[in-house]
Structure 1
Protein backbone atom coordinates (compact mmCIF):
# COMPACT_ATOMS: atom_id res chain seq x y z
CA UNK A 1 0.00 0.00 0.00
CA UNK A 2 1.60 3.24 -1.19
CA UNK A 3 0.32 6.31 0.64
CA UNK A 4 0.79 8.59 -2.34
CA UNK A 5 -1.33 11.22 -4.07
CA UNK A 6 -3.15 8.64 -6.21
CA UNK A 7 -4.13 6.68 -3.08
CA UNK A 8 -5.56 9.69 -1.25
CA UNK A 9 -7.30 10.96 -4.40
CA UNK A 10 -9.49 7.84 -4.20
CA UNK A 11 -9.41 7.15 -0.46
CA UNK A 12 -10.66 10.59 0.65
CA UNK A 13 -13.89 10.57 -1.42
CA UNK A 14 -14.44 6.87 -0.62
CA UNK A 15 -14.23 7.45 3.14
CA UNK A 16 -16.30 10.65 2.93
CA UNK A 17 -18.93 8.75 0.96
CA UNK A 18 -19.04 5.98 3.57
CA UNK A 19 -19.43 8.53 6.36
CA UNK A 20 -22.32 10.29 4.63
CA UNK A 21 -24.06 6.95 4.05
CA UNK A 22 -23.65 5.77 7.64
CA UNK A 23 -24.54 9.17 9.03
CA UNK A 24 -27.78 9.70 7.19
CA UNK A 25 -28.83 7.00 4.77
CA UNK A 26 -29.11 3.72 6.67
CA UNK A 27 -25.54 2.39 6.23
CA UNK A 28 -26.74 0.25 3.33
CA UNK A 29 -24.45 1.80 0.76
CA UNK A 30 -21.48 2.62 3.00
CA UNK A 31 -19.79 -0.46 1.58
CA UNK A 32 -19.38 1.42 -1.73
CA UNK A 33 -16.05 2.59 -0.29
CA UNK A 34 -14.68 -0.97 -0.35
CA UNK A 35 -15.10 -1.71 -4.09
CA UNK A 36 -13.81 1.79 -4.83
CA UNK A 37 -10.65 1.15 -2.79
CA UNK A 38 -10.32 -2.39 -4.17
CA UNK A 39 -9.70 -0.83 -7.58
CA UNK A 40 -6.23 0.22 -6.38
CA UNK A 41 -5.64 -2.05 -3.36
CA UNK A 42 -5.71 -5.77 -2.65
CA UNK A 43 -9.14 -6.78 -1.25
CA UNK A 44 -7.64 -7.47 2.17
CA UNK A 45 -5.98 -4.06 2.23
CA UNK A 46 -9.25 -2.37 1.28
CA UNK A 47 -11.34 -3.98 4.01
CA UNK A 48 -8.54 -3.66 6.56
CA UNK A 49 -8.25 0.05 5.86
CA UNK A 50 -11.99 0.65 6.17
CA UNK A 51 -12.89 -1.28 9.33
CA UNK A 52 -11.27 1.03 11.94
CA UNK A 53 -12.78 4.04 10.17
CA UNK A 54 -16.21 2.41 10.07
CA UNK A 55 -15.93 1.65 13.79
CA UNK A 56 -15.14 5.30 14.53
CA UNK A 57 -18.15 6.34 12.44
CA UNK A 58 -20.33 3.91 14.39
CA UNK A 59 -19.10 5.36 17.67
CA UNK A 60 -19.81 8.91 16.53
CA UNK A 61 -23.34 7.94 15.45
CA UNK A 62 -24.43 6.20 18.63
CA UNK A 63 -25.03 9.49 20.42
CA UNK A 64 -27.38 11.23 17.91
CA UNK A 65 -29.39 8.02 17.43
CA UNK A 66 -29.16 6.70 21.01
CA UNK A 67 -32.11 4.46 21.98
CA UNK A 68 -34.11 5.43 18.91
CA UNK A 69 -33.61 1.96 17.44
CA UNK A 70 -36.07 -0.94 17.27
CA UNK A 71 -34.50 -3.32 19.76
CA UNK A 72 -36.27 -6.56 18.75
CA UNK A 73 -35.21 -6.14 15.12
CA UNK A 74 -31.65 -5.17 16.07
CA UNK A 75 -31.34 -8.15 18.42
CA UNK A 76 -32.40 -10.66 15.74
CA UNK A 77 -29.87 -9.30 13.24
CA UNK A 78 -27.03 -9.16 15.76
CA UNK A 79 -27.58 -12.72 16.99
CA UNK A 80 -27.74 -14.02 13.42
CA UNK A 81 -24.58 -12.17 12.41
CA UNK A 82 -22.35 -14.30 14.68
CA UNK A 83 -22.35 -17.49 12.54
CA UNK A 84 -22.19 -15.30 9.42
CA UNK A 85 -18.94 -13.70 10.57
CA UNK A 86 -17.59 -17.15 11.54
CA UNK A 87 -18.31 -18.40 8.02
CA UNK A 88 -16.52 -15.34 6.64
CA UNK A 89 -13.39 -16.29 8.63
CA UNK A 90 -13.46 -19.82 7.15
CA UNK A 91 -13.92 -18.46 3.62
CA UNK A 92 -11.08 -15.98 4.07
CA UNK A 93 -8.69 -18.79 4.98
CA UNK A 94 -9.35 -20.79 1.81
CA UNK A 95 -9.98 -18.13 -0.89
CA UNK A 96 -7.40 -16.13 -2.87
CA UNK A 97 -7.48 -12.37 -3.64
CA UNK A 98 -9.11 -12.86 -7.05
CA UNK A 99 -11.95 -14.78 -5.43
CA UNK A 100 -12.56 -11.84 -3.12
CA UNK A 101 -12.40 -9.38 -6.00
CA UNK A 102 -15.07 -11.46 -7.69
CA UNK A 103 -17.20 -11.65 -4.53
CA UNK A 104 -16.94 -7.92 -3.84
CA UNK A 105 -17.82 -7.16 -7.46
CA UNK A 106 -20.80 -9.54 -7.42
CA UNK A 107 -22.08 -8.05 -4.15
CA UNK A 108 -21.84 -4.55 -5.65
CA UNK A 109 -23.65 -5.49 -8.87
CA UNK A 110 -26.16 -7.63 -6.98
CA UNK A 111 -26.99 -4.74 -4.67
CA UNK A 112 -27.70 -2.42 -7.60
CA UNK A 113 -29.82 -5.11 -9.30
CA UNK A 114 -31.80 -5.64 -6.08
CA UNK A 115 -32.48 -1.93 -5.73
CA UNK A 116 -33.52 -1.63 -9.38
CA UNK A 117 -35.89 -4.60 -9.05
CA UNK A 118 -37.42 -3.12 -5.91
CA UNK A 119 -37.85 0.33 -7.45
CA UNK A 120 -39.49 -1.13 -10.58
CA UNK A 121 -41.94 -3.18 -8.52
CA UNK A 122 -40.50 -6.50 -9.72
CA UNK A 123 -39.63 -7.25 -6.09
CA UNK A 124 -41.78 -6.04 -3.23
CA UNK A 125 -41.32 -5.87 0.52
CA UNK A 126 -43.15 -8.66 2.39
CA UNK A 127 -46.76 -7.75 3.19
CA UNK A 128 -46.26 -8.89 6.77
CA UNK A 129 -43.23 -8.25 8.98
CA UNK A 130 -40.59 -10.97 8.76
CA UNK A 131 -40.22 -13.11 11.87
CA UNK A 132 -37.35 -12.97 14.35
CA UNK A 133 -36.10 -16.26 12.89
CA UNK A 134 -36.00 -14.73 9.42
CA UNK A 135 -34.22 -11.75 10.91
CA UNK A 136 -31.53 -14.04 12.29
CA UNK A 137 -31.15 -15.58 8.85
CA UNK A 138 -30.74 -12.15 7.30
CA UNK A 139 -28.32 -11.33 10.10
CA UNK A 140 -26.25 -14.34 9.07
CA UNK A 141 -26.06 -13.05 5.50
CA UNK A 142 -25.27 -9.57 6.81
CA UNK A 143 -22.42 -10.95 8.94
CA UNK A 144 -20.94 -12.90 6.02
CA UNK A 145 -21.13 -10.11 3.44
CA UNK A 146 -19.96 -7.57 6.00
CA UNK A 147 -16.89 -9.68 6.76
CA UNK A 148 -16.03 -9.99 3.06
CA UNK A 149 -16.60 -6.42 1.94
CA UNK A 150 -18.41 -4.43 4.70
CA UNK A 151 -21.55 -5.04 2.62
CA UNK A 152 -23.99 -6.22 5.27
CA UNK A 153 -26.48 -3.46 4.52
CA UNK A 154 -28.64 -5.16 1.84
CA UNK A 155 -29.62 -8.29 3.85
CA UNK A 156 -30.29 -6.15 6.91
CA UNK A 157 -32.37 -3.75 4.80
CA UNK A 158 -34.59 -6.56 3.48
CA UNK A 159 -35.50 -7.52 7.04
CA UNK A 160 -35.81 -3.98 8.43
CA UNK A 161 -37.93 -2.74 5.54
CA UNK A 162 -40.39 -5.55 6.19
CA UNK A 163 -40.73 -4.28 9.76
CA UNK A 164 -42.11 -0.94 8.48
CA UNK A 165 -39.92 1.14 10.76
CA UNK A 166 -40.08 4.93 10.85
CA UNK A 167 -37.18 6.65 9.04
CA UNK A 168 -35.11 7.61 12.09
CA UNK A 169 -35.92 4.33 13.88
CA UNK A 170 -34.64 2.46 10.81
CA UNK A 171 -31.46 4.57 10.71
CA UNK A 172 -30.81 4.12 14.44
CA UNK A 173 -31.31 0.35 14.17
CA UNK A 174 -28.72 0.05 11.40
CA UNK A 175 -26.28 2.13 13.46
CA UNK A 176 -26.62 -0.23 16.42
CA UNK A 177 -26.48 -3.42 14.35
CA UNK A 178 -23.35 -2.51 12.39
CA UNK A 179 -21.63 -1.11 15.46
CA UNK A 180 -21.98 -4.60 16.96
CA UNK A 181 -21.03 -6.46 13.75
CA UNK A 182 -17.93 -4.33 13.21
CA UNK A 183 -16.76 -4.98 16.78
CA UNK A 184 -17.33 -8.70 16.15
CA UNK A 185 -15.18 -8.57 13.01
CA UNK A 186 -12.21 -6.79 14.59
CA UNK A 187 -10.55 -9.73 16.43
CA UNK A 188 -10.58 -12.12 13.42
CA UNK A 189 -9.32 -9.34 11.12
CA UNK A 190 -6.41 -8.82 13.51
CA UNK A 191 -5.74 -12.56 13.82
CA UNK A 192 -5.76 -13.02 10.03
CA UNK A 193 -3.25 -10.20 9.53
CA UNK A 194 -5.69 -8.02 7.58
CA UNK A 195 -4.56 -4.90 9.42
CA UNK A 196 -1.13 -3.61 8.41
CA UNK A 197 1.11 -0.78 9.51
CA UNK A 198 0.48 1.25 6.31
CA UNK A 199 -3.28 0.76 6.62
CA UNK A 200 -3.29 1.97 10.22
CA UNK A 201 -1.18 5.02 9.29
CA UNK A 202 -3.65 5.78 6.50
CA UNK A 203 -6.51 5.40 8.99
CA UNK A 204 -4.97 8.00 11.28
CA UNK A 205 -4.69 10.46 8.39
CA UNK A 206 -8.27 9.76 7.25
CA UNK A 207 -9.96 10.08 10.67
CA UNK A 208 -10.99 13.73 10.09
CA UNK A 209 -12.51 12.75 6.74
CA UNK A 210 -14.52 9.97 8.41
CA UNK A 211 -15.93 12.32 11.07
CA UNK A 212 -16.67 14.99 8.47
CA UNK A 213 -18.62 12.45 6.42
CA UNK A 214 -20.66 11.35 9.43
CA UNK A 215 -21.50 14.92 10.41
CA UNK A 216 -22.52 15.72 6.84
CA UNK A 217 -24.65 12.57 6.68
CA UNK A 218 -26.53 13.41 9.90
CA UNK A 219 -27.16 16.94 8.58
CA UNK A 220 -28.40 15.65 5.21
CA UNK A 221 -30.59 12.99 6.88
CA UNK A 222 -32.74 15.70 8.43
CA UNK A 223 -32.91 18.00 5.42
CA UNK A 224 -32.81 16.33 2.00
CA UNK A 225 -34.11 13.38 0.01
CA UNK A 226 -31.64 10.59 -0.60
CA UNK A 227 -32.62 10.11 -4.27
CA UNK A 228 -29.57 11.84 -5.79
CA UNK A 229 -27.22 10.30 -3.25
CA UNK A 230 -28.43 6.78 -4.00
CA UNK A 231 -28.41 7.37 -7.77
CA UNK A 232 -24.73 8.34 -7.63
CA UNK A 233 -24.01 5.39 -5.35
CA UNK A 234 -25.57 2.91 -7.77
CA UNK A 235 -23.55 4.37 -10.65
CA UNK A 236 -20.29 4.08 -8.67
CA UNK A 237 -21.11 0.55 -7.54
CA UNK A 238 -21.96 -0.61 -11.05
CA UNK A 239 -18.71 0.72 -12.51
CA UNK A 240 -16.51 -0.49 -9.66
CA UNK A 241 -18.25 -3.88 -9.43
CA UNK A 242 -17.92 -4.51 -13.15
CA UNK A 243 -14.23 -3.59 -13.06
CA UNK A 244 -13.54 -5.91 -10.11
CA UNK A 245 -15.35 -8.82 -11.78
CA UNK A 246 -13.38 -8.23 -14.98
CA UNK A 247 -10.07 -8.11 -13.07
CA UNK A 248 -10.89 -11.28 -11.14
CA UNK A 249 -11.83 -13.26 -14.25
CA UNK A 250 -9.00 -12.05 -16.45
Structure 2
Protein backbone atom coordinates (compact mmCIF):
# COMPACT_ATOMS: atom_id res chain seq x y z
CA UNK A 1 0.00 0.00 0.00
CA UNK A 2 1.21 3.50 -0.78
CA UNK A 3 2.34 5.59 2.16
CA UNK A 4 0.32 8.79 1.75
CA UNK A 5 -0.31 11.61 4.18
CA UNK A 6 -3.84 12.61 5.15
CA UNK A 7 -3.65 15.32 2.51
CA UNK A 8 -2.52 12.76 -0.03
CA UNK A 9 -5.48 10.45 0.66
CA UNK A 10 -7.91 13.36 0.48
CA UNK A 11 -6.54 14.30 -2.93
CA UNK A 12 -6.64 10.67 -4.03
CA UNK A 13 -10.31 10.40 -3.04
CA UNK A 14 -11.14 13.64 -4.87
CA UNK A 15 -9.27 12.40 -7.93
CA UNK A 16 -11.23 9.14 -7.85
CA UNK A 17 -14.49 11.07 -7.58
CA UNK A 18 -13.48 13.10 -10.63
CA UNK A 19 -12.76 9.92 -12.58
CA UNK A 20 -16.11 8.39 -11.64
CA UNK A 21 -18.11 11.51 -12.50
CA UNK A 22 -16.35 11.61 -15.87
CA UNK A 23 -17.42 8.03 -16.58
CA UNK A 24 -20.95 9.11 -15.70
CA UNK A 25 -20.86 11.66 -18.50
CA UNK A 26 -19.00 14.73 -17.21
CA UNK A 27 -15.95 13.95 -19.33
CA UNK A 28 -13.80 17.01 -18.62
CA UNK A 29 -13.85 16.48 -14.85
CA UNK A 30 -11.38 13.59 -14.99
CA UNK A 31 -8.58 15.68 -16.45
CA UNK A 32 -7.89 17.20 -13.03
CA UNK A 33 -7.16 13.80 -11.44
CA UNK A 34 -3.48 13.36 -12.35
CA UNK A 35 -2.55 17.05 -11.89
CA UNK A 36 -4.22 16.94 -8.47
CA UNK A 37 -2.33 13.83 -7.39
CA UNK A 38 0.90 15.24 -8.81
CA UNK A 39 0.89 17.66 -5.88
CA UNK A 40 1.82 14.77 -3.57
CA UNK A 41 3.56 12.28 -5.88
CA UNK A 42 5.32 12.08 -9.23
CA UNK A 43 3.11 12.39 -12.33
CA UNK A 44 4.23 8.94 -13.48
CA UNK A 45 3.19 7.33 -10.20
CA UNK A 46 -0.07 9.28 -10.21
CA UNK A 47 -0.89 8.03 -13.71
CA UNK A 48 -0.09 4.45 -12.70
CA UNK A 49 -2.27 4.73 -9.60
CA UNK A 50 -5.27 6.11 -11.45
CA UNK A 51 -5.31 3.76 -14.46
CA UNK A 52 -6.87 0.79 -12.58
CA UNK A 53 -9.46 3.20 -11.14
CA UNK A 54 -10.23 4.38 -14.66
CA UNK A 55 -10.53 0.84 -16.00
CA UNK A 56 -12.92 -0.40 -13.30
CA UNK A 57 -14.95 2.83 -13.44
CA UNK A 58 -15.28 2.34 -17.18
CA UNK A 59 -17.49 -0.67 -16.48
CA UNK A 60 -20.02 1.50 -14.67
CA UNK A 61 -19.91 4.06 -17.46
CA UNK A 62 -20.37 1.43 -20.17
CA UNK A 63 -23.42 0.01 -18.40
CA UNK A 64 -24.90 3.49 -18.04
CA UNK A 65 -24.30 4.36 -21.71
CA UNK A 66 -24.72 0.91 -23.24
CA UNK A 67 -27.20 2.31 -25.80
CA UNK A 68 -26.11 5.96 -25.97
CA UNK A 69 -23.06 6.26 -28.23
CA UNK A 70 -22.19 7.01 -31.85
CA UNK A 71 -20.46 4.08 -33.52
CA UNK A 72 -19.36 6.24 -36.47
CA UNK A 73 -17.30 8.45 -34.18
CA UNK A 74 -15.69 5.45 -32.47
CA UNK A 75 -14.78 3.83 -35.80
CA UNK A 76 -13.08 7.03 -36.99
CA UNK A 77 -11.20 7.81 -33.76
CA UNK A 78 -10.19 4.53 -32.11
CA UNK A 79 -7.61 3.39 -34.72
CA UNK A 80 -5.80 6.69 -34.21
CA UNK A 81 -5.97 6.23 -30.43
CA UNK A 82 -4.13 2.90 -30.66
CA UNK A 83 -1.44 4.55 -32.80
CA UNK A 84 -1.10 7.36 -30.27
CA UNK A 85 -0.74 4.91 -27.39
CA UNK A 86 1.92 2.96 -29.30
CA UNK A 87 3.82 6.18 -29.99
CA UNK A 88 3.61 7.15 -26.33
CA UNK A 89 4.97 3.76 -25.31
CA UNK A 90 7.84 4.02 -27.79
CA UNK A 91 8.83 7.51 -26.61
CA UNK A 92 8.05 7.10 -22.90
CA UNK A 93 11.67 7.68 -21.87
CA UNK A 94 12.30 10.56 -24.30
CA UNK A 95 9.51 13.15 -24.07
CA UNK A 96 9.25 15.00 -20.72
CA UNK A 97 5.88 15.06 -18.98
CA UNK A 98 5.78 18.85 -18.94
CA UNK A 99 6.10 18.98 -22.72
CA UNK A 100 3.02 16.83 -23.24
CA UNK A 101 1.14 18.80 -20.60
CA UNK A 102 1.94 22.04 -22.40
CA UNK A 103 0.79 20.68 -25.78
CA UNK A 104 -2.50 19.46 -24.33
CA UNK A 105 -3.08 22.82 -22.66
CA UNK A 106 -2.40 24.82 -25.81
CA UNK A 107 -4.69 22.65 -27.95
CA UNK A 108 -7.52 22.86 -25.44
CA UNK A 109 -7.07 26.61 -24.95
CA UNK A 110 -7.16 27.31 -28.69
CA UNK A 111 -10.32 25.26 -29.16
CA UNK A 112 -12.13 26.76 -26.14
CA UNK A 113 -11.30 30.35 -27.13
CA UNK A 114 -12.41 29.71 -30.70
CA UNK A 115 -15.72 28.30 -29.47
CA UNK A 116 -16.28 31.25 -27.13
CA UNK A 117 -15.23 34.01 -29.52
CA UNK A 118 -16.96 32.54 -32.58
CA UNK A 119 -19.90 30.53 -31.20
CA UNK A 120 -21.62 30.57 -34.60
CA UNK A 121 -19.08 28.00 -35.81
CA UNK A 122 -20.72 25.39 -33.61
CA UNK A 123 -24.28 26.28 -34.62
CA UNK A 124 -24.35 23.72 -37.43
CA UNK A 125 -23.18 20.15 -36.88
CA UNK A 126 -20.09 19.09 -38.80
CA UNK A 127 -19.91 15.66 -40.45
CA UNK A 128 -17.95 12.73 -39.07
CA UNK A 129 -14.51 12.65 -40.71
CA UNK A 130 -12.16 9.64 -40.75
CA UNK A 131 -9.17 11.94 -41.34
CA UNK A 132 -9.96 14.33 -38.50
CA UNK A 133 -11.13 11.48 -36.29
CA UNK A 134 -7.93 9.48 -36.60
CA UNK A 135 -5.74 12.57 -36.24
CA UNK A 136 -7.38 13.83 -33.07
CA UNK A 137 -7.85 10.26 -31.87
CA UNK A 138 -4.10 9.70 -32.11
CA UNK A 139 -3.40 12.91 -30.20
CA UNK A 140 -5.96 11.88 -27.57
CA UNK A 141 -4.43 8.39 -27.33
CA UNK A 142 -0.95 9.78 -26.88
CA UNK A 143 -1.83 12.38 -24.26
CA UNK A 144 -4.08 9.89 -22.50
CA UNK A 145 -1.17 7.44 -22.33
CA UNK A 146 1.15 10.01 -20.79
CA UNK A 147 -1.14 11.71 -18.27
CA UNK A 148 -4.76 10.56 -18.76
CA UNK A 149 -5.44 13.95 -20.35
CA UNK A 150 -6.86 12.90 -23.69
CA UNK A 151 -10.21 14.68 -23.29
CA UNK A 152 -9.24 18.08 -24.84
CA UNK A 153 -7.95 16.63 -28.15
CA UNK A 154 -10.92 14.27 -28.36
CA UNK A 155 -13.23 17.19 -27.70
CA UNK A 156 -11.72 19.15 -30.58
CA UNK A 157 -13.02 16.44 -32.91
CA UNK A 158 -16.31 15.50 -31.27
CA UNK A 159 -17.79 18.75 -29.96
CA UNK A 160 -18.32 20.31 -33.45
CA UNK A 161 -20.37 17.23 -34.39
CA UNK A 162 -23.05 18.54 -32.01
CA UNK A 163 -24.16 15.15 -30.79
CA UNK A 164 -27.06 14.98 -28.32
CA UNK A 165 -25.76 15.39 -24.77
CA UNK A 166 -26.23 11.76 -23.73
CA UNK A 167 -24.78 10.44 -26.99
CA UNK A 168 -21.80 12.80 -26.62
CA UNK A 169 -21.22 11.60 -23.06
CA UNK A 170 -21.66 7.95 -24.00
CA UNK A 171 -19.37 8.16 -27.03
CA UNK A 172 -16.68 9.80 -24.90
CA UNK A 173 -17.07 7.10 -22.25
CA UNK A 174 -16.76 4.26 -24.78
CA UNK A 175 -13.77 5.87 -26.51
CA UNK A 176 -11.76 6.25 -23.32
CA UNK A 177 -12.85 2.90 -21.91
CA UNK A 178 -11.34 1.12 -24.90
CA UNK A 179 -8.32 3.43 -24.84
CA UNK A 180 -7.72 2.65 -21.15
CA UNK A 181 -7.94 -1.10 -21.72
CA UNK A 182 -5.32 -0.84 -24.45
CA UNK A 183 -3.10 1.23 -22.13
CA UNK A 184 -2.93 -1.59 -19.59
CA UNK A 185 -0.42 -3.47 -21.76
CA UNK A 186 2.27 -0.74 -22.03
CA UNK A 187 1.66 0.43 -18.45
CA UNK A 188 2.32 -3.09 -17.17
CA UNK A 189 5.40 -3.38 -19.39
CA UNK A 190 6.76 -0.11 -18.01
CA UNK A 191 6.21 -1.21 -14.39
CA UNK A 192 3.60 1.44 -13.57
CA UNK A 193 1.10 -1.11 -12.23
CA UNK A 194 3.08 -1.83 -9.07
CA UNK A 195 1.55 -3.84 -6.17
CA UNK A 196 1.46 -0.65 -4.06
CA UNK A 197 -0.43 1.24 -6.75
CA UNK A 198 -2.86 -1.64 -7.31
CA UNK A 199 -3.59 -1.93 -3.57
CA UNK A 200 -4.30 1.80 -3.28
CA UNK A 201 -6.42 1.70 -6.45
CA UNK A 202 -8.52 -1.10 -4.92
CA UNK A 203 -9.33 1.19 -1.99
CA UNK A 204 -10.19 4.14 -4.25
CA UNK A 205 -12.26 2.28 -6.85
CA UNK A 206 -15.53 2.12 -4.80
CA UNK A 207 -15.42 5.91 -4.50
CA UNK A 208 -15.14 6.22 -8.27
CA UNK A 209 -17.99 3.76 -8.89
CA UNK A 210 -20.38 5.72 -6.66
CA UNK A 211 -19.32 8.89 -8.47
CA UNK A 212 -20.30 7.34 -11.83
CA UNK A 213 -23.92 7.51 -10.66
CA UNK A 214 -23.50 11.16 -9.58
CA UNK A 215 -22.13 12.12 -12.99
CA UNK A 216 -24.90 10.21 -14.76
CA UNK A 217 -27.58 12.04 -12.80
CA UNK A 218 -26.04 15.43 -13.51
CA UNK A 219 -25.64 14.90 -17.25
CA UNK A 220 -29.29 13.85 -17.54
CA UNK A 221 -30.67 17.02 -15.93
CA UNK A 222 -28.38 19.63 -17.51
CA UNK A 223 -29.92 21.28 -20.66
CA UNK A 224 -27.97 20.54 -23.86
CA UNK A 225 -26.96 24.16 -24.60
CA UNK A 226 -25.79 24.61 -21.03
CA UNK A 227 -24.03 21.24 -21.26
CA UNK A 228 -21.85 22.42 -24.16
CA UNK A 229 -21.18 25.78 -22.53
CA UNK A 230 -20.05 24.07 -19.34
CA UNK A 231 -17.77 21.76 -21.34
CA UNK A 232 -16.22 24.73 -23.17
CA UNK A 233 -15.63 26.77 -20.02
CA UNK A 234 -14.35 23.69 -18.22
CA UNK A 235 -11.95 23.03 -21.07
CA UNK A 236 -10.74 26.64 -20.92
CA UNK A 237 -10.09 26.47 -17.17
CA UNK A 238 -8.35 23.11 -17.32
CA UNK A 239 -6.22 24.13 -20.32
CA UNK A 240 -5.01 27.26 -18.53
CA UNK A 241 -4.19 25.13 -15.50
CA UNK A 242 -2.20 22.66 -17.63
CA UNK A 243 -0.25 25.45 -19.33
CA UNK A 244 0.58 27.03 -15.98
CA UNK A 245 1.60 23.63 -14.56
CA UNK A 246 3.94 23.02 -17.51
CA UNK A 247 5.57 26.47 -17.41
CA UNK A 248 6.21 26.62 -13.66
CA UNK A 249 7.65 23.10 -13.39
- TM bracket, shorter-chain basis: 0.7 to 0.9
**How far 1:234 sits from its partner (Å)?**
5.1
Structure 2 Cα separation of the partners of residues 48 and 15 of structure 1? 13
**Residue equivalent to 2:7:** 6
Contact 1:23-1:214 within 8 A present in 2 as well? yes
Q: Which runs of 5+ in 2 are unaligned?
A: none
Partners of 1:158 and 1:91 in 2: CA distance = 24
* TM-score, normalisation: structure 2: 0.86
Give 2:55's aligned residue: 55
Aligned to 1:100: 97
Distance in 2 separating the partners of 1:243 and 1:154: 16
What residue number does 2:144 align with? Answer: 146
Q: Which whole-Å CA distance do the structure 2 matches of 1:127 and 1:67 have between them?
A: 21
Stretches (4+) displaced over 3 A: 122-128, 224-241
Stretch deviating more after TM superposition (61-70 or 186-195): 61-70
Alignment-derived partner of residue 28 in structure 2: 28
Residue 11 and residue 220 in structure 1: after superposition, are their counterparts in 2 closer, same or farther (change >3 A)?
A: same
- Distance, in Å, in 2 between the alignment partners of 1:180 and 1:47 is 17
1:111 aligns with 2:108: yes
Aligned partners of 1:232 and 1:45: how far apart in 2? 25
Q: Is the 8 A contact 2:49 2:198 kept in 1?
A: yes
Aligned 1:164-243 pairs, distance under 5 A: 164-224=162-222, 225-226=226-227, 235=237, 238-239=240-241, 241-243=243-245
Deviation, structure 1 residue 68: 1.8
The Cα of 1:237 is off from its aligned counterpart by 5.7
CA displacement 1:47-93 (0-9 Å, x = unmatched):
10111111111111111211321111111111111111111001203
What is aligned with 2:72?
72
CA contact (8 A) 1:35 1:244 kept: no
Structure 1-normalised TM-score? 0.86
User: What is the distance in 2 between the residues matched to 1:33 and 1:9?
Assistant: 12
In structure 1, C-alpha distance between the alignment counterparts of 2:242 and 2:139, rounded to whole Å? 22
**Mean CA deviation greater in 118-127 or 70-79:** 118-127
1:121 matches 2:123:
no
CA shift, 1:9, in A, is 2.0
RMSD, aligned α-carbons: 2.5
Aligned mates of 1:157, 1:236 — CA distance in 2 = 13
CA contact (8 A) 1:117 1:123 kept: no
Quick one: structure 1 residues 127 and 210, their matched pair in 2 at CA, closer, same or farther if it must change by over 3 Å? closer
